[in-house]
Amino acid sequence: MPVARINGITLGYDDYGSGDPVVLVTGTGAPGRIWRTHQVPALKAAGHRVVTVDNRGVPPSDLCPGGFTLDDMAADVAGLIEHLELGPCRVVGFSLGAIIVQELLLARPGLVRQAVLMACCGRTDAFVAAMTAAEIELCDSGTVLPPRFGAYLQAVSNLSPRTLSDEEQIRDWLDVFEMSAVDRAGVRGQLSLQVIPNRLPAYRDIDCPCLVIGFADDLIIRPRLTREVAEAIPGARHLEIPGCGHYGYLERPREVNAAIIEFFGRG
């Protein structure tokens, strides 16, 4: 995996294919390789060069134990785009990654041609605040969850009832979650960034073409929060995909990829 010195830190990334570039920015605690199974092949087949990012806090990128901000993370993505001479390019963000992209659109609008924001929000509601506080308390306690229990929590939090009811699928998901448990201590710095003030008024200044994708069964970023972002960004398109939870881009990749590629075809 290549690394670069970006914004004062070491930032890991992967670079696939050739063509019009797309940068993929993932969510809390997830490595860039999460995109490799579904999104990277589909975007490459559509003629895109795909760059995935390991956000600070996720090795091999620096952990930055002294702390960091959303502005730092947006600057990391901007710096990588400039380092690889990609801009203006297309950018896709998921969950915390979408919030990072939203801030990038405000801070460095000239670097982004089109943006896709998945499972995004423009403010923190009471549930997200409570969830984040609980995750931080667990992290700071030093408690390590047994992998099987952690996998169960991942499943009920991030998957749809449709997937939970499919016995073959859920066994596969539980195996994946158990084998890829996140080191919570390593992403402690990212957790607090899930709590944001109301940024919806600021998003009215975004003039980049945006596709906002919500997932109908998302229990973490409920679809109404995603719709708020679409309503705040002038001219944004909104799509809600049924039958998937917070990990909708992994549960229903065909539908998600088709929507992204169709949107990119318009610009």
| Residues labelled catalytic | 95, 218, 246
Residue with tokens 């009832």: 161
CA 233 → CA 27, 36, 68, 113, distances in Å?
21, 29, 26, 15
CA 78 → CA 60, 110, 182, 213, 264, distances in Å?
18, 10, 26, 22, 20
As a whole number of angstroms, the distance between CA 156 and CA 44 comes to 32
Token digits for 85? 């001479």
As a whole number of angstroms, the distance between CA 90 and CA 82 comes to 13
The dihedral region occupied by 213, where left means phi > 0, alpha psi between -120 and 50, and beta the remainder, is beta
